[in-house]
Amino acid sequence: MLKKLCFLLGVTLLVSCSEKDEFSDPSLENVNAISAKLNENVLLLHNSKLANSNGDEGMAYDEETGVMQMSLESVEMAEYKIENTSILSVDLDTLAVLRKVAKVDTIGDIINVHTEETDFEEVFRDADFELVSDMTEDVDLKTASTIQEINEALRDGNKIHPARVIYHMPEGRIVRSVFNDEQIDGVEMFGNTKKTISINFSKKIENYTLFEKSEQITNEETGESYSEKSGIYLTSGEINYGADFSLKTKVKWFKLRKFEFSVSPHVFAEANFLMRYAKSYTREDEIKLMNNVFKRTFIYYVGACVLAITVDTDIMAAYKVESNGFLQCTAGFNASISSKFGAKYKRKKGWSAINEFEFNKELYTPQFMGEVNANLRAEIFPRTKAKICGVNGITIDMVPYVNTEIHGSFLNTKVDGSVEMSMGLDARINAKVKIAKKNLGGFEKEYQIVKPIVLFDETYSN
C-alpha cells in the first residue's frame, strides 16, 4: 500500500466531495454554500456501495499505483458515471482519497480506474472555513441524516467540528462519533460523544540511556590502563501535554488565498540528566524517546466534502556537548508552557509564523565533579505532527532546555572554577505543505522564544 497520497496538510481539504445527493438531500447547492463550492466534475464514491473483484464490499485501492479496482455491477447499481474528466472522492470511513481519473479500462466484469494527483484548485471554487479539534455538544445524528443536517449540527459560524475521531491505539482502532448508529468494520465504536476531545497525554520516562561508550583511560603517573564509561543519561523525565488545533483555509475562484495551521498546547516538561565524560568530547544528537504516544484522525464534513486530519505526537530528547577534560554532573529542570504556535500562508506573500508563548521554569540544584572546560545543552520536548493520509505536513517542536557551563577543577583535593546554568525556550516549525499537486513550498524556522536566563551562577575557590 502506498504512502504517496500527496495531499498534505493543507490538503486537509480533501477527501470526499460531490454534487450528487448520497444522503437523500434534494439539493446540495445550499450545503456547498455553507463553507465550500465545488467544481461540478467532482464525484463522491461511497465505498459501501462498491465491491471489489472478489465480490467483497468496498473497492480495492492500490496507493502505490493509484489504481482503483471495482466490479462493473456495483458501479452500475450505484449509478456512478466515471469519466476521464472526473475527480473522485472516496470515503473510506477512517481515510479518504481524492484523485483525478487518467484512464478507465474494463476487463470482463472489473473496472480499473487509473488515477493521478489532482490540483486542489480543480476541486474547490470557493471555500472559507476553520476546522477545529473539539467535538460539538451532544448531537443525535444518524448515518441517514441529510448532508444539510450534518453540516448544521457540526458548524459554529465558519468553524467546523469533527464528525468522528479515530483513536489509533496499540490494541486497535477505536472510533468516537456523533453518529449514534455508525458502524465501521475493524474498529470499536464509542458511540456519540458529549463534550470535547482534546489532544492530551501524560508520560514518564525512567533511566533512559541517550549515549554511552566505553573508553580506555591511561593513568599518566603509573602508565596503567583501565576502562571507564562515558555517557548521557535521562535518569527521569515527564511530559504532560494537552492541546487543541485549528486549520483555516480560504479559496476564492479556484485560487488559494490563505492557509493556516496552529496548535495551542499546554505543556509541562520535567527532566533530570546525568552526564559522565571520561575524556574530551564534542557530540550532539536527537533521540526519539517515545513514538506516537498520541495519534488521532479527525473526520470532518465541509459542505458535501469529507476531510481527514491525522495528528500524532512523539516525545523527544536532545543534547549537545563540548567538553575538554573529565566530568560527572547532574542537570535538571521543569518547565510549563502555554502557547499558540504554527504557520500561515498567504497568496503572493508566502509563509510566516504564528507565535504566542507563556513560559515558567525551575532549575534543580546541580552536582558536579571533575577537571574540565565544558558547555552542555540538554532538552526534552513534545513533537507534534499534522498529517493527511500518513504524509507529513507540519511539524512543531516546543523545546525547553538547560545550558550548563563548567570551567575549572572540582575535586576532593582542589576546588577552583565556575559553574553557570541557564534555561530558555525554543520553538521549531517545519512545513512542507502540498495541496494535491499544488505545492505551497517549504517553511522551516527556529525561534528563540525565551533567551537563556541565568538561574545558577557560582564561583568556587579553596
The predicted pLDDT at position 137 comes to 66
Query: Is 112 a domain residue?
Result: no
Position 9 pLDDT exceeds 60: no
77: cell is 447499481
Q: How far apart are CA 264 and CA 241, in angstroms?
A: 11
| 390 domain residue, yes or no | yes
- Determine the structural domain holding residue 421 and report its residue range: 199-461
Measured between alpha carbons, how far is 12 from 306 in angstroms, rounded to an integer?
9
Q: Identify the pLDDT of residue 177.
A: 74
Residue with the larger pLDDT of the pair 22 and 41: 41
Contacts of 52 (CB under 8 A, 6+ apart): 58, 59, 60, 69, 70, 71
Sheet holding 60-62, edge to edge: 42-46, 87-91, 96-107, 110-116, 67-71, 60-62
Q: Does the pLDDT at position 20 exceed 60?
A: no
Structurally, the chain folds into a number of domains equal to 1
pLDDT of residue 120: 63
Instruction: Classify residue 93: in a domain, yes or no.
Output: no
pLDDT for res 103: 92
Q: Is residue 224 part of a domain?
A: yes
pLDDT at site 33:
46
Least confident residue range of 12-26, 57-71, 106-120, 164-178: 12-26
Whether residue 373 is contained in a domain is answered as: yes
- Residue 133 to residue 153: CA distance in whole angstroms: 15
Indicate if the pLDDT at residue 16 is higher than 50.
Answer: no
Residue 281 vs residue 187, higher pLDDT: 281
Average pLDDT over residues 303-317: 82
6 pLDDT exceeds 70? no
Q: Please state the rounded mean pLDDT for residues 419-435.
A: 81
Q: State percent of the chain over pLDDT 70.
A: 78
Q: What is the mean pLDDT of the chain?
A: 78
Nearest by Cα to 298 from 73, 101, 8, 12 = 12
Chain segment 238-249, per-residue pLDDT in tens:
999 888 888 887
371-425 tens-digit pLDDT: 889 899 999 999 988 876 545 578 889 899 999 999 999 887 778 999 999 999 9
Rg of the chain on CA atoms, in Å: 27
How many CB atoms are located within 10 Å of the residue 29 CB?
Answer: 11
Q: Where are the alpha helices (DSSP H) in 118-234?
A: 120-123, 147-154
Region for 280 from its dihedrals, namely left if φ exceeds 0, alpha if ψ lies in -120 to 50, beta otherwise = beta
- Residue 346 inside a domain? The answer is yes
Percent of the chain with pLDDT over 90: 22
Which residue would you say has higher pLDDT here, 7 or 329? 329
Position 319 in a domain: yes
Q: 152 pLDDT exceeds 60? A: yes
Report if residue 169 sits inside a domain: no
Q: Give residue 448's Cα distance to chain centre.
A: 22
* pLDDT beyond 50 at 316: yes
